[in-house]
Amino acid sequence: MSTVDLGFPGLNGVPAADGPQNRKEFVSDQEVRWCPGCGDYAVLAAFQSFLPELGVKRENIVMVSGIGCSSRFPYYLSTYGVHSIHGRAPTIATGLAVTRPDLNVWVITGDGDALSIGGNHLIHTMRRNVNLKILLFNNRIYGLTKGQYSPTSERGKVTKSTPMGSVDTPFNPISLALGAEAKFVARTIDSDRKHLTEVLRAAAAHRGTAFVEIYQNCPIFNDNAFDAIKDPKTRDDAIIPLRHGEPIRFGKDGRLGVVRDPSGTGRMSVVEVATLPNGEADLVVHDAHHEDSAYAFALSRLTGGGVLKQAPIGIFRSVQRQVYDDLVREQVATAKSQQGEGDLQSLVTGSDTWTVTA
């Protein structure tokens, strides 16, 4: 049986499809049920069109989701899928990835599902560098349960659960992922299909955990949360494009750019390029392959914790490290070669037992 080993190195060992595939083969017969105008529709359409590019048999692709609007995703794809329990999708997906190297595993989650009850499961999956891909749909609200504030809602957010405004400091999902030592970290937008697809390709090609935050609009409970980066009048000055090897420059006519803080703190800031002594030469040249996560973390802090006004979009970090599943399977193989197959009952019983007598 042929396996995927060209174009998407992260898929090595996964059985290849017998021939060309198309979008229709990955569309299920289930009625898509999201609110009219939901950004999930755009992400689903892009994902369904992207999957044939992988060249992987449908039965070797698995979508694992938790609870929330985004977690309906597995129903709408003609692959295997698991609609799991709240916040535990990364854990279930880890079990699949470790025990079944022939599978291409994706986690579909949201800001509430992943960053609240699922926080520990998410960070440990990234810390371990399990070979799976995590798509976090961030609409900065609890949509499925009808509009409570979420871990990414800005301070002062008035919702059904915070009638006087949230007093919580929100998570920055990119900063969180980098702090957990994720080796592939990116951000994209639901309405930018070209960019979304480019990021999906890069995530699929990465061997190890790939974390992708997708800004996704909820038109019912948190409409216009991403207006700054979507409105044609403001988006040029709001989107900070990250392209490896290029100066980080943006805005109308490229008037804005990113520089390192001269104080030596490692912070980065946005400035007018015209005010720089050496112009573009003074700008930060993006290095997505920088080994030190502090570089990408500094970029992530350009996104404020309040109402969104500016945000870097693209791949923050993409570096290689040994993959958790490979290491676990190597240990199992070593144990078998040294001790044989082993005995399940002996493992359950253990060596430290006692007998209780009357």
Answer yes or no: is 349 within a domain.
no
Q: What percent of the chain has pLDDT over 90?
A: 84
Residues 258 and 160 in one domain: no
User: Both 279 and 137 in a single domain?
Assistant: no
Does residue 39 lie within any of the structural domains? yes
Q: pLDDT tens digits for 102-142?
A: 999 999 999 999 999 999 999 999 999 999 999 999 999 99
What residue type is 352 in one-letter code? D
Among residues of the chain, what percentage have pLDDT more than 70? 98
Is 50 found in the same domain as 63? yes
Q: Count of domains in the chain?
A: 2
**Cα gap 29→52, rounded to integer Å:** 18
**pLDDT of 6-22, one tens digit each?**
468 888 889 999 899 99
pLDDT band at 1; cut points 50, 70, 90: low
Predicted confidence at residue 104, as pLDDT, reads: 97
Instruction: Please report whether residue 346 resides in a domain.
Output: no
Q: Which residues constitute the domain of residue 267?
A: 247-284
Each residue of 52-104: pLDDT tens digit?
A: 999 999 999 999 999 999 999 999 999 999 999 999 999 999 999 999 999 99
Residues 56 and 73 in one domain: yes
What's the rounded Cα separation, in Å, for the pair 124 and 107?
14
Q: Which of 61, 235, 54, 216 is nearest to 135 (CA)?
A: 216
- The mean pLDDT of the chain is 93
Domain CATH for 206: 3.40.50.970
Instruction: Give residue 2's pLDDT.
Output: 65
Angle between helices 39-54 and 193-205 (to 10 degrees): 40
Alpha-carbon torsion, ordered 118, 97, 10, 40, to 10 deg: -40
pLDDT bin (cut points 50, 70, 90) of residue 186 is very high
Asked, for residue 267, whether it belongs to a domain, the answer is yes
pLDDT score for 10: 84
According to the model, what pLDDT value does residue 353 have? 76
What is the predicted pLDDT for the residue at 352? 79
- From CA 101, how far away is CA 281, in angstroms rounded? 46
Q: What is the mean pLDDT of residues 296-301?
A: 96
- State which H helix or E strand residue 212 sits in: strand 210-215
Q: Cα separation of 18 and 21, whole Å? A: 9
217 and 270 together in one domain = no
**Among 198, 193, 194, 191, which residue's Cα sits nearest to residue 219?**
191
Give the global pTM. Answer: 0.93
In a domain, 350, yes or no: no
